[in-house]
Amino acid sequence: GVRDADSDGSEAEDAGAVSFHADRPELRPERLPPPSRLICTWADGCPQLSVYEKKRLKNIIENAKFFAALELYEVCMESEAKPKKAEDETVRRRSMRLQRVEPSGVSGLEAPAQPTAAGSVRQVGVRGDVSVYTQKYQDMLSSMVLSKENIRKVVKYRVCSMAIHPSESILFVAAGDKSGQIGLWNDCKSEEGAHVFVPHNDLVSCMHFSPFNPAHLLSLSNDSLRCGDVTRAVFDDIYRSEEKLSSFDFLEDNASTAIVAHWGGNITVVDRRTPGTSSGLSADIDFKRMRTVHVHPVNKQYFMAAGLQDVCIYDIRYLKFHRNMPVSSLKGHTKSVASAFFSPVTGNRAVTVCADDKLRVYDTSSLSSKVEVLSTIRHNNNTGRWLSRFQAIWDPKQEDCFVVGSMLQPRQIEVFQDTGKLLHSFSNLNCLNSVCSINVVHPTKNVLVGGNSSGRLHVFKD
> What pLDDT score does 276 carry?
73
Q: Read off the amino acid at residue 91.
A: V
> What pLDDT score does 230 carry?
81
Q: Return the percent helix, strand and coil in the chain, to nearest 5.
A: 20, 35, 50
In-domain check, residue 87: no
In-domain check, residue 106: no
In-domain check, residue 86: no
Q: What is the pTM of this model?
A: 0.77
The tens digit of pLDDT for each residue in 44-81 reads: 556 667 776 776 676 666 555 656 656 665 655 555 54
In-domain check, residue 136: no
> What pLDDT score does 38 carry?
45
Q: Could you tell me which of 433, 384, 425 has the C-alpha nearest to residue 405?
A: 425
The tens digit of pLDDT for each residue in 363-402 reads: 999 988 889 999 999 999 999 999 999 999 999 999 999 9
Q: Which range of residues forms the domain containing residue 362?
A: 150-461
291 vs 299: CA distance, rounded Å: 22
> What pLDDT score does 20 carry?
33
213 vs 227: CA distance, rounded Å: 11
Crossing angle between the packed helical segments 72-81 and 51-70, to the nearest 10 degrees: 60
207 vs 199: CA distance, rounded Å: 12
In-domain check, residue 96: no
> What pLDDT score does 60 carry?
65
Q: Read off the amino acid at residue 168.
A: E
In-domain check, residue 297: yes
How many structural domains comprise the chain? 1
Q: Could you tell me which of 296, 229, 222, 297 has the C-alpha nearest to residue 260?
A: 222
Ranges of the chain whose pLDDT falls below 50: 1-33, 35-41, 81-128
Q: What is the CATH number of the domain that holds 423?
A: 2.130.10.10
- Give backbone dihedrals phi and psi of 77, rounded to 5 degrees, phi first: -65, -40
How many residues are recorded in the chain?
A: 462
> What pLDDT score does 52 carry?
67
- The answer for residues whose C-beta is within 8 angstroms of residue 448's C-beta and 6 or more apart is 144, 403, 413, 426, 439, 440, 441, 442, 459, 460, 461
- Give backbone dihedrals phi and psi of 270, rounded to 5 degrees, phi first: -115, 125
Contacts of range 296-299, beta carbons closer than 8 Å, 24 or more positions apart = 296/342, 296/347, 297/342, 297/343, 297/344, 297/345, 297/346, 297/347, 298/112, 298/346, 298/347, 299/347
In-domain check, residue 131: no
290 vs 168: CA distance, rounded Å: 34
Determine contact, residues 321/313, Cβ cutoff 8 Å.
no
In-domain check, residue 426: yes
Q: Is 260 helix (H, G, I), strand (E, B) or coil?
A: strand
> What pLDDT score does 124 carry?
38
